[in-house]
């Protein structure tokens, strides 16, 4: 609330100007300079009230708009923000917690019971807790939900997996695979613990700018009809639930990458088919599954990924042994992921002909990234001759695709003759290599810089380009005084995106521009692609000078 | 001074009226200059009035339809500096000045002082006006400008003595305050200043964007009534969806053409005024372009409904069934000229074309172009666009037919002659390609909006077609496509190139858009995307 002490001299002067002018109209030679009795006793008191009221009016107007609140976001009152959002039937989204699988190494083959809420602590002091009470033994009662206690390959220790979640919301909880964890209370037989896969990212509280981006959908009617109303309808149904819709892209009549409305002799678009790409993640979302592979050749196994295993997945990140912790620290440009066996895959469809959807099941790109997609993965170089073998597979996918597809297909929701297909967005995985210089007097918080850079890239909506300028600007706001941009030794950007036919495209240069590799027939267009990065792919060196 | 009465303190505390009585005596008997008090209180009152106006403004901002376009200052002090004479933004040399000024000395018989030298990047001067820059946010002073609020010696009237354009205050004729002898001129740091008071100053504080536009992420650099109407029209579409009437209202809002605001409005009179037509109904007065053709229903006693356009400047064809044109639109057969040809880019076609193909209403022969492996005739008709793409399109068509064991003839039933000789080049029938595409592929989900830009009600500069289309796309159903065709008159630009050493280069469009014109690639000199349009103002040099 504006107080008299907050009024500036300029505001006083403005408020006094009108009165002074009127007095001088009657008494041109009246001494109204500061310090005079007339000025200080007669003018100032009224001017103070006017200036304060004017301030209050400005403050009132400022609080009526999210845009003006965003100008002072750091000091904006959360209640004021939610008061405006309430007019749009919205509330500011609170942050979410990072989560993932941890591997506990123990010393003996016995039954372990770890209670729900049991806490683990990362090296940085972040706390994680067990999602549910876990009972592990070498002969688990799986019907009771107990888990397997594994023996290491060399027989020297035992391990089992637990699901943990960060105690506090925030992106900082997105630990990479292999990060050490400690226990906060005694656990019998405990040897060590580590993250088994990179944790899904938590999110910070929604910024005002992010809330503003949701406003068009908020004021829209809810229906599976226009691009905005589709987003509004889906957000209404799913936001605040198991996943949050960060952004959607709709490809309808006359749009690029809409392949399904041309099933006629002339191949001429007829409309009525709509593809919805749902970005239901911030950081590229990894899913970890275990699958049994079948030996099909020397050191070669085949794994069948059914449509239901990881519905609509975008890409396989790694295929490794169960015990293997996939190393995250791959160098810039080193692929495939270290610790993964070499693999290839062929995708096809499963069950689409049992639906009403107009999809040519024989056209890979029409089925790609949908919930009817299945895959046959061939893994080579496996040092084993067992007929069957367990593998750990990490995949990138969008959470909630099945729920979304079921929703738009349900008789309660679907419009007559409507044909909506949900797809996982294509993710252009970004790598950044850079050297940031800074003043010795002002060291850079490298961890924070990486977090901010990751947020910059991962929170972008569907779009066609990511430039070095954007990266540079963020690094400078995080304390860098200059960035080496020289080609060869300076900042480099690299991006990889897989299209609907399974073809991998690489992008490099001053900007990662999806238009360079655009292929409409393979669903690869700017409107279907989001950029994504994992912090371990941000290779940044800081040098004091 | 009178002798001061001696009144005991207890008299004041025991009876409140004692103090009031003696205060009254002070102002009536002791203080002999009441003007000071009167003016002081009037000054405070004016300040309070401004606070009240601000309060009303805040209240109005709560309603997107009532949101004021500009902030209004009841009284604004304006300080003019002699050194800034004719240096306002409104004086900047621009290409759209009428008549165009010369770079160099000005000739006789123009609004500009003869012999005065103008330079690129500089300011123009006018013979009959003197101007001074205002604060960049000031849009207009809608009542008057004076030297003193309560006791003015000179009042300048808007439109007679001054006008405001581009945040510049233009004084007409001999109205320059520095020369009038009426306004007190002060010497400040070697410059001369005049203090004026502007009554009802309109200030652009971006209120429309900050309170309405940001919600839809639509920003315009300047606040205008059109911007506000456009936002509200689009917002209505966000709220209500796209029933035809709301769609029409929305299109009208984004292109700046009025639509009827309520059901059952009865036209009372149509007035032709200078530069504008007024359609007066029993509830509203609508301003439309002076050259716009009124719709047939817009006649005295005609009944109009919500979302109806008043003119034919915007024509909506919401169903593209060529067999039922009269039933689908009041403009009926005009579709054939309004949308004489359409270009379908690669996103419309399964065939892997690079750009696309175009089709028109011109009737074309269906001719035989070889046969497939089963001996079935391959038929095609003339399309336009890159020949490579046309060939790819037909090859894809024939391949599909062959793989599905179909014949070309099955796709052209109703268009073929009864008896044909199956030889290459033989004419099997006739078809209007665009009619064919509309009839079999587009009619259910495609619509066309034609806009006569020269006849829109909104000033040309405020209408941004690309912005309009981008936002329309967000609110029309995703399974529907809207073709927007804009007709505009491009006047011939005449340049006197004699004595100019610049070379003139003829440039050709390099994308599919160039083939939009019927009959094949046009020799247009516009460029699109690959090279941004280059607009070059070539001044005429005068000795």
pLDDT, position B60: 94
Residues from chain A that touch B151, judged by Cβ atoms under 8 A, are 25-26
The token duo for A116 is 């729900």
Alpha helices in B442-543 (DSSP H): 465-475
List the single residue in B211, B437, B475 with the smallest CB-CB distance to A228.
Answer: B475
pLDDT at B67 over 80: yes
Q: Could you tell me what percent of chain A has a pLDDT over 70? A: 96
- CA dist B523 and B532 (Å) reads 17
Taking only the tens place, the pLDDT of each residue in B401-460 is 999 999 999 999 999 998 888 899 999 999 999 999 999 999 888 999 999 988 999 876
Q: Report residue A3's pLDDT band, with 50, 70 and 90 as the boundaries.
A: low
- CA dist B229 and B499 (Å) reads 48
SS3 state of residue B348 = helix
Question: Which has more pLDDT, B543 or B44?
Answer: B44
pLDDT, position B142: 93
Residues from chain A that touch B209, judged by Cβ atoms under 8 A, are 67
pLDDT, position A296: 97
CA-nearest residue to A47 within chain B is: B44
| Ramachandran class of B301: left when φ > 0, alpha when ψ lies in -120 to 50, beta otherwise | left
List the single residue in A61, A223, A274 with the smallest CB-CB distance to B241.
Answer: A223
List the single residue in A58, A221, A252 with the smallest CB-CB distance to B479.
Answer: A252
Q: What is the mean pLDDT of residues B163-181?
A: 88
Inter-chain residue contact B441 with A264, CB threshold 8 Å: yes
Long-range Cβ pairs for the range B351-355 (8 Å, 24+): B351/A267, B351/B389, B351/B392, B351/B393, B351/B395, B351/B396, B351/B397, B352/A521, B352/B392, B352/B396, B353/B386, B353/B388, B353/B389, B353/B392, B353/B393, B354/B386, B354/B388, B354/B389, B355/B385, B355/B386, B355/B389, B355/B511, B355/B512, B355/B515
Taking each helix axis from N to C end, the angle separating A44-63 and A78-86, rounded to the nearest 10 degrees, works out to: 60
Nearest to A262 by CA among B400, B395, B411: B400
pLDDT, position B542: 45
- CA dist B55 and B166 (Å) reads 28
pLDDT at B365 over 90: yes
SS3 state of residue B278 = strand
pLDDT at A529 over 50: yes
Q: What is the mean pLDDT of residues B91-100?
A: 79
Name the one residue in this structure whose structure tokens are 């492996």: B373
Question: What part of B 341-360 touches A (C-beta under 8 Å)?
Answer: 344, 346-352
Residues from chain B that touch A26, judged by Cβ atoms under 8 A, are 35-36, 38-39, 150-151
pLDDT, position A243: 87
Paired sense of beta strands A492-498 and A426-438, if any: antiparallel
Nearest to B71 by CA among B56, B86, B82, B83: B56
CA-nearest residue to B343 within chain A is: A254
CA-nearest residue to B43 within chain A is: A19
Residues from chain A that touch B396, judged by Cβ atoms under 8 A, are 267
State the smallest CA–CA distance between residue B162 and chain A in angstroms.
Answer: 23
Q: Report residue B515's pLDDT band, with 50, 70 and 90 as the boundaries.
A: very low
SS3 state of residue A208 = helix
pLDDT at B24 over 80: no
Q: What is the mean pLDDT of residues A109-120?
A: 93
Name the one residue in this structure whose structure tokens are 């987003």: A231
Residues from chain A that touch B476, judged by Cβ atoms under 8 A, are 226
pLDDT, position A477: 92
Q: What is the mean pLDDT of residues A57-82?
A: 90
pLDDT, position A155: 78
pLDDT at A526 over 70: yes
Taking only the tens place, the pLDDT of each residue in A392-410 is 998 999 999 999 999 999 9
Give the contacts of A441 (CB within 8 A, at least 6 positions apart).
Answer: none
Q: What is the mean pLDDT of residues B317-329?
A: 86
Q: What is the mean pLDDT of residues B243-266?
A: 90
Interface probe for A, chosen from B477, B480, B484, B529 (most Cβ of A below 10 Å), is B477
Q: Report residue B517's pLDDT band, with 50, 70 and 90 as the boundaries.
A: very low
Q: What is the mean pLDDT of residues A505-512?
A: 93
Q: Report residue A286's pLDDT band, with 50, 70 and 90 as the boundaries.
A: confident
Q: Report residue B13's pLDDT band, with 50, 70 and 90 as the boundaries.
A: confident
The count of C-alpha atoms lying within 13 angstroms of the C-alpha of B419, restricted to the half-sphere facing its C-beta, is 0
Q: Report residue A4's pLDDT band, with 50, 70 and 90 as the boundaries.
A: low
Residues from chain B that touch A50, judged by Cβ atoms under 8 A, are 44, 47-48, 50-51
pLDDT, position A50: 86
Burial class (CB in 10 A: 0-12, 13-18, 19+), A185: exposed
List the single residue in A57, A251, A418 with the smallest CB-CB distance to B51.
Answer: A57
Q: Report residue B43's pLDDT band, with 50, 70 and 90 as the boundaries.
A: confident
Taking only the tens place, the pLDDT of each residue in A308-336 is 999 999 999 889 888 776 555 444 444 45
- Interface A-B, measured as beta-carbon pairs within 8 A, has a size of 215
The Cβ of residue B536 has, within 10 Å, a number of other Cβ atoms equal to: 8
Residues from chain B that touch A210, judged by Cβ atoms under 8 A, are none
Inter-chain residue contact B215 with A223, CB threshold 8 Å: no
Inter-chain residue contact A252 with B477, CB threshold 8 Å: yes
- Average model confidence (pLDDT) across chain A: 89
Q: Report residue A174's pLDDT band, with 50, 70 and 90 as the boundaries.
A: confident
Inter-chain residue contact B216 with A216, CB threshold 8 Å: yes
pLDDT, position B4: 62
State the smallest CA–CA distance between residue B52 and chain A in angstroms.
Answer: 9
pLDDT, position B260: 94
- CA dist A305 and A81 (Å) reads 46
Taking only the tens place, the pLDDT of each residue in B480-514 is 999 988 887 765 555 454 554 444 443 333 333 34
If you compute the radius of gyration of chain A from its CA atoms, what whole number of angstroms results? 29
- CA dist A371 and A310 (Å) reads 8
Q: What is the mean pLDDT of residues B348-377?
A: 93
State the smallest CA–CA distance between residue A221 and chain B in angstroms.
Answer: 5
Taking only the tens place, the pLDDT of each residue in A344-377 is 999 999 999 999 999 999 999 999 999 999 999 9
Residues from chain B that touch A53, judged by Cβ atoms under 8 A, are 48, 51
Inter-chain residue contact A265 with B197, CB threshold 8 Å: no
Give me the interface pTM, i.e. the ipTM.
Answer: 0.81
Q: What is the mean pLDDT of residues A266-276?
A: 94
- CA dist B407 and A280 (Å) reads 46
- The helix (H) or strand (E) run that includes residue A435 is strand A426-438
Residues from chain B that touch A54, judged by Cβ atoms under 8 A, are 50-51, 54
Q: What is the mean pLDDT of residues A170-192?
A: 86
Residues from chain B that touch A88, judged by Cβ atoms under 8 A, are 215
Nearest to A490 by CA among A453, A429, A451, A437: A437
The token duo for A499 is 């299209």
What predicted TM-score, i.e. pTM, was given to this entire model? Answer: 0.82
State the smallest CA–CA distance between residue B37 and chain A in angstroms.
Answer: 9
CA-nearest residue to A223 within chain B is: B241
The Cβ of residue B138 has, within 10 Å, a number of other Cβ atoms equal to: 22
Paired sense of beta strands B446-452 and B481-487, if any: parallel
- The helix (H) or strand (E) run that includes residue B485 is strand B481-487
Residues from chain A that touch B401, judged by Cβ atoms under 8 A, are 265
Question: Which has more pLDDT, B465 or A462?
Answer: A462
Taking only the tens place, the pLDDT of each residue in B118-138 is 887 788 888 888 999 999 999
CA-nearest residue to B409 within chain A is: A265
List the single residue in A227, A251, A267 with the smallest CB-CB distance to B350.
Answer: A267
């Amino acid at each position: 609330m504006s107080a008299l002490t907050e009024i500036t001299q300029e505001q006083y002067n403005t408020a006094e100007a009108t009165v002074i002018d009127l007095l001088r109209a009657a008494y041109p030679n009246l001494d109204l300079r500061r310090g005079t009795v007339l000025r200080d006793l007669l003018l100032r008191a009224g001017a103070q009230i006017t200036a304060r009221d004017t301030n209050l009016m400005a403050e009132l107007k400022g609080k009526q708009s999210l845009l003006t609140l965003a100008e002072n976001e750091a000091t904006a009152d959360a209640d004021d923000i939610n008061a405006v959002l309430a007019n749009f039937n919205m509330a500011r989204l609170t942050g979410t917690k990072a989560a993932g699988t941890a591997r506990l190494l123990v010393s003996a083959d016995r039954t372990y019971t770890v209670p729900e809420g049991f806490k683990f602590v990362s090296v940085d002091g972040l706390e994680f807790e067990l999602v549910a009470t876990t009972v592990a033994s070498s002969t688990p009662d799986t019907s009771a939900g107990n888990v397997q206690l594994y023996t290491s390959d060399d027989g020297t220790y035992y391990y089992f997996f637990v699901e943990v979640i960060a105690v506090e919301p925030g992106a900082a909880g997105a630990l990479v695979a292999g990060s050490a964890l400690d226990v906060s209370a005694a656990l019998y037989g405990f040897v060590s613990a580590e993250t088994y896969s990179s944790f899904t990212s938590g999110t910070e509280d929604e910024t005002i700018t992010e809330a503003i981006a949701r406003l068009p959908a908020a004021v829209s009617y809810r229906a599976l009809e226009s691009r905005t109303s589709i987003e509004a309808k889906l957000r209404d149904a799913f936001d605040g639930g198991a996943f949050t819709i960060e952004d959607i892209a709709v490809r309808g009549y006359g749009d690029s990458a809409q392949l399904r409305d041309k099933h006629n002799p002339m191949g001429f678009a007829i409309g009525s088919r709509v593809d919805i790409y749902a970005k239901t993640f911030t950081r590229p979302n990894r899913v970890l599954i275990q699958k049994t592979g079948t030996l099909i050749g020397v050191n070669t196994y085949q794994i069948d990924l059914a449509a239901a295993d990881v519905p609509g997945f975008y890409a396989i990140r790694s295929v490794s042994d169960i015990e293997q912790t996939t190393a995250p620290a791959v160098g810039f440009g080193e692929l495939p992921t270290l610790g993964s066996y070499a693999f290839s895959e062929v995708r096809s469809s499963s069950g689409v002909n049992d639906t009403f959807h107009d999809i040519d099941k024989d056209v890979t790109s029409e089925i790609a990234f949908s919930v009817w997609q299945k895959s046959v993965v061939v893994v080579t170089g496996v040092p084993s001759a067992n007929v069957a073998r367990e593998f750990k597979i990490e995949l990138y996918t969008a959470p909630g695709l099945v729920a979304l597809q079921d929703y738009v297909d349900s008789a309660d929701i679907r419009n007559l003759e409507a044909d909506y297909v949900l797809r996982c967005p294509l993710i252009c995985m970004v790598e950044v290599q850079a050297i940031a210089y800074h003043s010795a007097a002002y060291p850079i918080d490298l961890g924070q810089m990486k977090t901010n850079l990751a947020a910059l890239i991962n929170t972008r909506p569907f779009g066609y380009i990511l430039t070095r300028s954007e990266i540079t600007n963020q690094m400078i706001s995080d304390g860098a005084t200059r960035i080496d941009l020289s080609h060869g030794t300076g900042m480099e950007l690299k991006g990889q995106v897989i299209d609907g036919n399974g073809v991998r495209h690489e992008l490099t240069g001053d900007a990662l521009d999806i238009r360079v590799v655009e292929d409409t027939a393979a669903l690869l267009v700017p409107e279907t692609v989001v950029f994504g990065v994992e912090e371990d792919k941000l290779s940044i060196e800081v040098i004091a000078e | 001074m009178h002798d001061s009465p001696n009144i005991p303190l207890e008299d004041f505390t025991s009876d409140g009226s004692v103090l009031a009585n003696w205060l009254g005596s002070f102002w009536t008997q002791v203080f002999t200059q009441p003007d000071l008090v009167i003016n002081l209180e009037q000054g405070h009152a004016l300040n309070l009035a401004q606070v009240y106006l601000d309060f009303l403004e805040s209240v109005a901002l709560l309603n997107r339809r009532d949101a004021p376009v500009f902030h209004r200052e009841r009284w604004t002090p304006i300080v003019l500096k002699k050194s800034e004479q004719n240096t306002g933004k409104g004086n900047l040399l621009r290409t759209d000045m009428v008549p165009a000024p010369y770079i160099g000395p000005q000739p006789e018989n123009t609004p500009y002082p003869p012999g005065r030298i103008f330079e690129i990047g500089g300011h123009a001067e006018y013979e009959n006006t003197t101007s001074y820059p205002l604060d960049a946010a000031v849009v207009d002073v809608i009542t008057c400008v004076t030297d003193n609020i309560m006791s003015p010696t000179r009042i300048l009237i808007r439109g007679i003595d001054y006008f405001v354009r581009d945040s510049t205050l233009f004084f007409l004729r001999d109205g320059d305050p520095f020369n009038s002898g009426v306004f007190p001129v002060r010497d400040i740091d070697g410059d001369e200043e005049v203090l004026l008071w502007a009554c009802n100053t309109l200030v652009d504080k971006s209120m429309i964007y900050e309170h309405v536009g940001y919600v839809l992420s639509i920003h315009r650099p300047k606040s205008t009534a059109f911007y506000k109407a456009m936002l509200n029209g689009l917002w209505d579409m966000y709220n209500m969806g796209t029933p035809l009437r709301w769609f029409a209202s929305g299109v009208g809002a984004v292109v700046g053409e009025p639509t009827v605001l309520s059901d059952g409005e009865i036209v009372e009179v149509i007035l032709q005024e200078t530069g504008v037509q007024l359609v007066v109904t029993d509830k509203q007065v609508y301003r439309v372009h002076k050259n716009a053709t009124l719709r047939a229903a817009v006649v005295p006693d005609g009944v109009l409904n919500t979302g109806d356009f008043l003119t034919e400047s915007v024509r909506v064809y919401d169903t593209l069934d060529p067999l039922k044109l009269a039933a689908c639109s009041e403009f009926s057969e005009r579709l054939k000229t309004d949308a004489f040809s359409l270009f379908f880019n690669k996103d419309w076609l399964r065939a892997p074309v690079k750009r696309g193909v175009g089709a028109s209403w011109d009737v074309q022969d269906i001719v035989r172009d070889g046969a497939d492996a089963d001996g079935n005739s391959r038929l095609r008709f003339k399309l336009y666009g890159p020949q490579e793409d046309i060939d790819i399109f037909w090859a894809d068509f024939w391949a599909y037919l062959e793989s599905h064991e179909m014949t070309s003839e099955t796709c052209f039933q109703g268009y073929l002659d009864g008896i044909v000789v199956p030889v290459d080049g033989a004419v099997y029938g006739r078809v209007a390609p665009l009619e064919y595409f509309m009839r079999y592929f587009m009619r259910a989900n495609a619509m066309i909006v034609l806009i006569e830009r020269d006849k829109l009600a909104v000033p040309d500069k405020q209408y941004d077609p690309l912005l309009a289309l981008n936002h329309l796309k967000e609110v029309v159903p995703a399974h529907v496509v809207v073709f927007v065709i804009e007709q505009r008159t491009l006047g011939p630009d005449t340049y006197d190139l004699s004595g100019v050493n610049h070379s003139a280069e003829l440039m050709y469009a390099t994308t599919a858009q160039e083939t939009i014109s019927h009959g094949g690639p046009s020799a247009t000199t516009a460029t699109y995307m690959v090279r941004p349009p280059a607009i070059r103002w070539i001044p005429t040099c005068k000795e």
